[in-house]
Structure 1
Amino acid sequence: MSNQKIYQYLMAFGHFCSDINQTALTALLPFLIAIHHYDYTTAAMLVLVANMVSSVVQPLFGHLADKFNWVWIVPVGLLLAGGGIAATGYTSDFWQLCLAVMISGIGIAMFHPQAAKLVNLASGLHNRGTALSIFAFGGSTGAAMGPILITASIALFGVQGTLTFLLIELLACLMIGRYYRALTELNGGSIKAKQANAQATQQDQWGAFSVLCVVMFGRSIIYYGLNTFLALYWINVLGTTETVGNTMLSIYYTIGAICTLFGGKLADKFGARNVLKCGFAVLFPSIALLAMTGNELFASALLLPMGAAIHIVYSPTVVLGQQYLPNRIGFASGITLGLAISIGGITAPILGKIADIYGLTTALYSVALVPLVGAFLLAKPKD
């Protein structure tokens, strides 16, 4: 296996370790509601806190990734991401919980831009979508495993089983440490200097990138709306147990993880814009049908189109963002992997309030309306 492939898979594993923390937080909500007697709005505030901080600092870390050779923020980010989630099992104070998830959010924000830039540098001009889909697959697989890991850890060790998440990050840091010097050289441009010089002659399409951000804000609202309420919908509307609810959430992410691999390949073959359009066209009817049905079997079947559509656009979005801003790859990655994703956490309390007042079904209908924003105004990237 070439060094470039090793770096791609290493960052994909790091992405796995980063994103288990994001979905672990949402899977924690039913347990926190049961233990601390929170309402939906209060529980969703934890998602807001984690993502508000991440949204603010993510573009900054992307800018720093373009300016400085700071590969060290990748392992440090992972330690903070897992350490924050680990700390949630060791406090019953709401504000300390907020601080813990805030630390986790900062760590996630540190990891994504620099890691995505390394994947970009370790790939070729014509297989960038495929390389980023491998990276995205790591994150989607981590998202799928997050609810399973948090449920199993709490079942085995009680709420203090959240410490498992810090141990996982320590393993990832040891693996990254083995290739740290080579990654530093890669980030400095020694491997892709010629290609980087060619990219520097291209112009950044800021207008097109702004439209892409709006589209991704919509995806983020859908993503976090489903993250926050999917398990709760199974539990409180369809009448299943917490275990079944979190299992459905993991199945949804597993479907998404598999489809993430296809997203990059489709972007390389048909173009990232076309993949985005198709994905958003599927989201509205599938989410609306979920809100309409009270049948558990039919609802389970709808996990397939929802999970496929929301995840298949993931890596094409990163590719398109990097194509729009070829001179600011780290910044583009920070926005498309970070701000444009985590911004949806800001809307979680609003959706939580809707759920408290009107019910979880109405909250899902609200999420279903978001895909109508669509991805049909995206400009074609310049060659």
Structure 2
Amino acid sequence: MTVLSGGHLAVDFASGSVPALIPFLTDKFHLGYALAALLLLAVTVSSSLVQPLFGLWSDRRGALWLIPGGTILGAVGVGFAAISPYYPLVLVLVLAGGLGVAAFHPEGAKYAAYASGRKRASGMSYFNIGGNTGYALGAFVTGVLVGAMGLGGALLAMVPVAVCAGFLLRNVPYFATLAPAVGARAEATGEDDRHAMTLLGVVIALRSVPWFTLLAFVPLWEVSLGHSKADGNRLLFLMLLAGALGTLALGPVADRVGLRSTLVVSQALVPVLIVAFVFVGGVVGAIALMLVGVCVVGTFGVTMVLSHLYLPRHIGMASGLSVGLAMGIGGVAAVVLGAVADAIDLRLALTLSALPPLLGVVSALRLPRPRSVRQTLRPAAVD
């Protein structure tokens, strides 16, 4: 789990660097809010919307090489996107980096599930803490390096990610030992509940709308208030860091009080916290933004475990749908809100992003209790 979580940290470090690059690329190419959000959409589409395809590949054929291969592609794509002289080429390279992120997640999450044992929410939290910490560090470190060295600093930031890819490649034979034998895998398999998975996908997509909007616009919002790009990136880092810490906190809570209960409560808090961030601001707004990170990022592991329980026959596909497709839909909505920001103002766009989680609460309350599955895939608490 430590090695898999470390790989998750590396690949999401590359992904998390993109929001930090947006203010600098906005200045370089003189972009409006919509085109700035398109950069985030590019990495979101490639890293999220295509994940179910990699998940299907993982379930049918197995593809352990995607773990190191996806990591190195993420580093190369994002690093060279930062120094590209043309905006269309930036989009192409960001798309390529996102494909690397998409390749890693379903296979990595599947083997993390194998390593989790009975405490699935806690186990997947350990896996996700790597990704969430990596995303936060990517936004912070890349922002610092680019601020000090120019956009070439992002290429330097990707060097450790490439080194980690080599380490993951050496550990591929060990990962293979985590997979259960064919007979045990069949014994641990339950029945897929596609309706429940669809409902969960709606919850995740609605939760992702404000998340991707904040990722794209928190630094630009701070700049609009008269603060520096560095101030905006620091605030973004605090939101992501709080989310990473929330992952460790909410995993054990979900194992104890139930997956669905944890998801409903956290979803209900998000709209209030976003309104506090936008209209109160200051220290209170910063704390509210950090708590948004806890409520959204902290439940990534919860929704991933639920997806595995709803689709026990297709764990790779479940990971691709919950981490990928549903999240990607939220990224598309962020571009729409970017257009609202261009047409009216950024405050309205951020405020509108608080509405979808309210609908998400309704959908979360309708989630059925997952059918229990046997052996190591059985969770401690599913209510």
* CA deviation vs aligned residue, 1:319-339 (integer Å, no higher than 9, x gap): 000011111111101111222
One-letter amino acid of the counterpart of residue 282, structure 2: E
* Residue ranges of structure 2 left out of the alignment (5+ in a row): 373-383
Taking the aligned partners of 1:131 and 1:195, their CA distance within structure 2 comes to 20
Per-residue deviation, 1:157: 2.8
Paired residues of 1:88 and 1:101 also in contact (CA < 8 A): yes
Once the two structures are superposed, residues 139-173 of structure 1 have per-residue CA deviations (whole angstroms, 9 ceiling, x without a partner) of: 11111111211122213432112212431222212
Q: Which residue of 2 aligns with 1:227?
A: 215
Tell me which stretches of 4 or more aligned residues in structure 1 moved more than 6 Å.
none
Equivalent residue for 1:307, pick from 271, 293, 307: 293
SS in 2 for 1:186: coil
Contact 1:17/1:142, CA 8 A, preserved across alignment: yes
Q: Does 1:208 pair with 2:208?
A: no
Counterpart of 2:17 (choices 24, 33, 38) is: 24
Q: How does 1:224-373 map to 2 (within 5 A)?
A: 224-237=212-225, 239-293=226-280, 295-373=281-359
Contact kept in structure 2, 1:23 and 1:143, CA below 8 Å: yes
SS at 2:266's partner residue?
A: helix
Q: Paired residue for 1:180, among 172, 177, 180?
A: 172
- For 2:260 and 2:369, locate their aligned partners in 1 and report how far apart those are by CA, in whole Å: 7
Taking the aligned partners of 1:177 and 1:246, their CA distance within structure 2 comes to: 32
- The one-character-per-residue Cα deviations of 1:200-256 (angstroms, maximum 9, x if unpaired) are 2x111111110000000011112101111112112213x211111100110111111
Instruction: Tell me, in whole angstroms, the C-alpha distance in 2 between the residues paired with 1:235 and 1:377.
Output: 40
Q: What are the residue-to-residue correspondences of 1:87-236 with 2, within 5 Å?
A: 87-124=80-117, 126-187=118-179, 189-190=180-181, 193=182, 195-200=184-189, 202-236=190-224
Farther off after superposition, 21-30 or 212-221: 21-30
Amino acid paired to 2:219 = A
Give the corresponding residue for 1:5. Answer: none
| Residue number in structure 2 paired with 1:4 | none
The answer to whether the Cα contact below 8 Å between 1:85 and 1:165 also exists between their aligned partners in 2 is no
Deviation string for 1:290-349 (max 9, x for gaps)?
2222x4222112123212111221100000000111111111011112222232221222
* RMSD, matched Cα: 1.5
Q: Distance in 2 between matches of 1:276 and 1:56?
A: 22
**Alpha-carbon separation, structure 1, partners of 2:56 and 2:192:** 15
Counterpart of 1:168, as a letter, is P
Give the drift of 1:89. 2.4
Maintained 8 Å contact 1:50/1:102: yes
DSSP-derived class of the 2:158 partner? helix
TM norm structure 1:
0.93
Q: CA deviation at 1:195?
A: 4.2
> Using a 3 Å threshold, how does the CA distance of structure 1 residues 95 and 304 change in structure 2: closer, same or farther?
closer
User: Could you state the TM-score of these two structures normalised by the residue count of structure 2?
Assistant: 0.93
Identity across the alignment (%): 31
The residue type equivalent to 1:248 in the other structure is L
CA distance in 2, matches of 1:76, 1:169: 11
Mapped contact 2:65–2:169 kept (Cα < 8 A): no
Cα distance, 1:113 vs structure 2:
0.2
- Indicate conservation of the 8 Å contact 2:48/2:323, yes or no: no
Alpha-carbon distance, 1:175 to partner: 1.9
Give the corresponding residue for 1:376. 365
Superimposed CA distance per residue, residues 95-124 of structure 1 (whole angstroms, 9 cap, x where no aligned partner): 101101100111111000000000011121
2:380 corresponds in structure 1 to none
In structure 1, distance between residues paired with 2:108 and 2:243? 21
CA distance in 2, matches of 1:304, 1:49: 25
Distance in 1 (alpha carbons) for counterparts of 2:323 and 2:207: 12
